[in-house]
Every structure is written in structure tokens, then in C-alpha cells.
Amino acid sequence: MFYDVHCHLDMLSEKELKEALQKAEQNNISQIISCSTSFDSNARNLALAKMFPEIKAAIGLYPLEAMELNDEELKKAFSFFKSKIKEETSIAVGEVGLDFKFAKKAEQQKKQIEIFRKFIELSNETGKPLIIHSRFAQKQVLETLEAEKAEKAVLHSFVDSERLMKRAAGNGYFVSVGLAILENNQIQKDITRFPLENLLFETDSPFRFNNEQAFPHKLLDIVSKVAELKKIPIEEIGRAQEISFKKLFL
Ligand SMILES: [Zn+2]
């Protein structure tokens, strides 16, 4: 069995969604996690997870979006997250984390870290893993997770530094690798040496890769590449994925 642990299915039209789910099923992808970035996106993902058994929702706010809220709005937002994360079809806290690419000011970064800490607390309290975005802030993400003793985390696209990837795995965290592995030699080298038990897969659908819209069934291209790199059968990766997915999300 395979799992796409990082998608944004709320961004698809009904027709695209139908096609995406059909192709995912044909390709042995049993679960797709749809990550929330805004309030509308949370509402849509919560509804999709109730409609389709193969979709699970991650509840959260994109760091750049969260950063714009005032104290009162944040308080309301977190009481909403606390109630919705308890639903059976909400299996993770995400997409949360740090994005310093468009937040260069110290006070913006400080606020992002404060909000990220609250999400880590929510994850630790509920046992539902964090699905983490980290852009221009991979070291800070790891430091915050360690300081807050985050228990369960999936680091999305966390493939810029082998040293940080190894530190994440050492903490028991997971790294999810996406379509970039198909072309990037450095990622290929790093993933070849990265432990299979800490590895998950994602397509980040529907975001475009190489000018082409991504769909969950493209996960199989990623899995095949990893099988080739690690010189192991695809079935072995499938078995490892099943164990990891259950351990982390169920
Ligand atoms: Zn994402």
C-alpha cells in the first residue's frame, strides 16, 4: 500500500478530484492526506474527508497566513482547531511550520515561531502528527521541534541538507520526499542513504512540477525511483510504508 501524505485536494475542481481519486485507486494509493492552508481550506478538507474514505484531513494554517492574525483571531482559530482535530477523519496537524522566505523581519519570524509552538502543543496533546512546511527555515523548524519536544512530525520537502535530515531522523521524525527526487541528483544521493523507516512520500498535488499539474498517482514514480536508488523491491517499500503510516497516523 502507498500513501500520499501531502496534498491540497481542496484546490481541485470536482471533476479533477474524481479523476484524481480514480487514478489513485488504480495505482494502489490507499490514503491521501489533504493539508489545510487557510480557513476555507480547513472547511473544504474537513468536508472532503467525510465524503471520501480515502481522503484524510490535516487541520492547520500556513505560516504566512497565520502570521497575519491578531491575538483575538488566533485564540478563536485555535479553539476551532482544537475541536476539529478531534474528528476521526482529521489525522494530522498541518500544514504548519515556518516560512522565512517572505517573512524577513525579526518580529514576523518571532510570531511564526510562537504560533508553530502552539501547533506543536496541539499535536503533542492529541497524538496527531505535525505536517510541516519549512522554507528558508529548516534549521529553525528542527530547533523549535526539539525545544518543544514534538513527538510526531512529518517534514515536507525537507531535503536541502543531509545533515538536518539525519538529525530529524535521529529524533524519530519522518521526511516526506516529493517529485523533485526524479530530477535532483543531490536529493537522490541523500535519500539513498536515508533510513527507509523514516521516509514517507508525497506529491504536493495539485502544485505543478515541471510545468505539469501533479496528481496523487504520480506518487508511484517517486516510489519507483527510491526502489531503484536503494536497490530494493517496490513491495518492500510498500510494506515499510504501511508500518510507518499506521504507527504515525492511526
Ligand atoms: Zn503543501
How far, in Å, from the CA of 206 to the mean position of ligand 1?
A: 9
How far, in Å, from the CA of 177 to the mean position of ligand 1?
A: 12
In the sheet with 199-201, reading across from the earlier edge strand, the strands are 2-7, 29-35, 55-59, 90-99, 130-135, 153-156, 174-177, 199-201
Cα 105–Cα 92–Cα 153 angle in degrees, nearest 5: 65
How far, in Å, from the CA of 48 to the mean position of ligand 1?
A: 17
pLDDT of the residue at 70? 97
**How far are the Cα atoms of 58, 136, 191, 194 from residue 188, in angstroms, in the given order?**
28, 21, 5, 10
Measured between alpha carbons, how far is 162 from 176 in angstroms, rounded to an integer? 13
**C-alpha closest to that of 126 among 155, 94, 173, 99:** 94
Cα of 81 vs its chain's centroid, Å:
17
How far, in Å, from the CA of 95 to the mean position of ligand 1?
A: 6
How far, in Å, from the CA of 21 to the mean position of ligand 1?
A: 18
Give the pLDDT confidence of 124-176 residue by residue, as tens digits: 999 999 999 999 999 999 999 999 999 999 999 999 999 999 999 999 999 99
For the chain, give every domain's residue range: 2-249
Give the pLDDT confidence of 2-58 residue by residue, as tens digits: 999 999 999 999 999 999 999 999 999 999 999 999 999 999 999 999 999 999 999
pTM higher than the cut 0.85: yes
More confident residue, 209 or 229: 229
How far, in Å, from the CA of 149 to the mean position of ligand 1?
A: 23
How far, in Å, from the CA of 134 to the mean position of ligand 1?
A: 10
Give the pLDDT confidence of 190-208 residue by residue, as tens digits: 999 999 999 999 999 999 9
How far, in Å, from the CA of 160 to the mean position of ligand 1?
A: 16
Q: Could you tell me the sign of the dihedral formed by the alpha carbons of 19, 23, 28, 34, in that order?
A: negative
How far, in Å, from the CA of 116 to the mean position of ligand 1?
A: 16
pLDDT at residue 122 greater than cutoff 90: yes
Domain spanning 2-249, CATH class: alpha beta
How far, in Å, from the CA of 96 to the mean position of ligand 1?
A: 9
How far, in Å, from the CA of 202 to the mean position of ligand 1?
A: 9
How far, in Å, from the CA of 112 to the mean position of ligand 1?
A: 17
How far, in Å, from the CA of 139 to the mean position of ligand 1?
A: 19
How far, in Å, from the CA of 207 to the mean position of ligand 1?
A: 8
Calculate the average pLDDT of the chain: 97
How far, in Å, from the CA of 154 to the mean position of ligand 1?
A: 12
**pLDDT band (50, 70, 90) for residue 250:** confident
How far, in Å, from the CA of 212 to the mean position of ligand 1?
A: 16
For the chain, give the number of residues: 250
